[in-house]
Structure 1
Amino acid sequence: MSTTSRLARDPEKEARILMAALTEFSEHGYRKTHVEEIADQAEVSKGLVFKYYQSKENLYLTTLKSATQKFMAIADYNIWQDSEDLVAMVVNATRYKISLQLKFPREFKLLLNAFVQGSQLPKAIGDYVNTTFISNTDLQKKMLTPVLQRSKLKPGVSIDDVYEMIRWIENGYYGRIQEYLGTHPEITSIEDMNEIIEQLTKYFEIFEHGFMASN
């Protein structure tokens, strides 16, 4: 039996450590966060943090998994699957994701930073991010397939082609949403985001229907 498994954990202290880790990692990122700061905020010793989690890398990974599990537990896939068409799906999903971001800002920021910086993080963390978010085609298809199956695709266009193009557009535009939220800290509701959501709607309407006028 390992030292870790023999160590009796104090649930209250463990909860404080993870809460402090969430705050520090989401605010400062992996590289600039120090275990001492997490320990001070959690009101425990630095040694106890290492006894529980062995390393900063493992603490970050545990915090990241906890945030992921929170979102997975509350995620409503019907937002994607029940949309009447591609444009409605993207708009509904974007509104939903922004509402979650406003409700759980630290968890969302942690996950977003891990997604963006995955290649710069330690290998175990990068592998988790890649498997969970980037290469998880099963989850992506679970959300998108019902809508795309109801759509009539042009000859020669596969559902996989559409998956890939949606990812490109969403990933690019999501950076703009983050910039908008960063420069508008007063935003507290999804209604405050109507302008940028309307822009995204316009772009996806062009994507779905084309930009060339019919003769």
Structure 2
Amino acid sequence: MLGGTFDPVHLGHLRSAVELREALALDRVHMVPAAMPPLRGEPRVSPADRLALLRLGIGDTPGLVADPRELERDGPSYSADTLASLRRELGPEARLVMALGHDAFLRLADWHEPERLFELAHVVVIDRPDHRASLPQPLVALLAGREVEEGEALMTRPAGRLLRLKLPSRMAISATEVRRRLAAGLSVRYLLPEAVETQLLSRGLYRHG
């Protein structure tokens, strides 16, 4: 599971999903747009538009799935509830992985029911090139005894471990910068999949502010 606002989806999101699947030999990666992210501001365009853009961006990429389950649920988009939903579908023995970026990882102890995340899944932190911060003490306590060094160690049990993963491309594309460029009428070529760029520009999404 790779969650996010995908506001809008860009090549960094998609390339990370592909490389995550390869690195851990995952059957598939569910890319899950958040409806109302509890710790972030309101997304700039509607959930339906963000999901449609994500589907356009994924296209026919093997193993990537645009998963709308958080958009179909009422209330805040808690990752623990999403993982519980996946766990119910896939069964108690399935190996579930929740991947997140380093910036989100630093706030993990502040998430809704953080211990429950590890009861339901492994947590994989995708290191970003521009993040080098020490861990806050509540996070250190949450992670005690969970960290492993290799992806193979995740696959020996269904949940409960933490892996920090460096992906080959490490694309430092920011959705904030993409939105800024769109609002200013500047080029976003090669930051987004071509189909996503075409749709954004033709509909004027993110054009104002």
Normalising TM by the smaller chain, what interval? under 0.3
TM-score (norm 1): 0.24
Which of 1 and 2 has higher RCO (CA within 8 Å, sep 6+)?
Answer: 2
Q: Which has the larger radius of gyration?
A: 1
TM-score (norm 2): 0.25
Q: Which has the higher helix share?
A: 1
Q: Which has the higher strand share?
A: 2
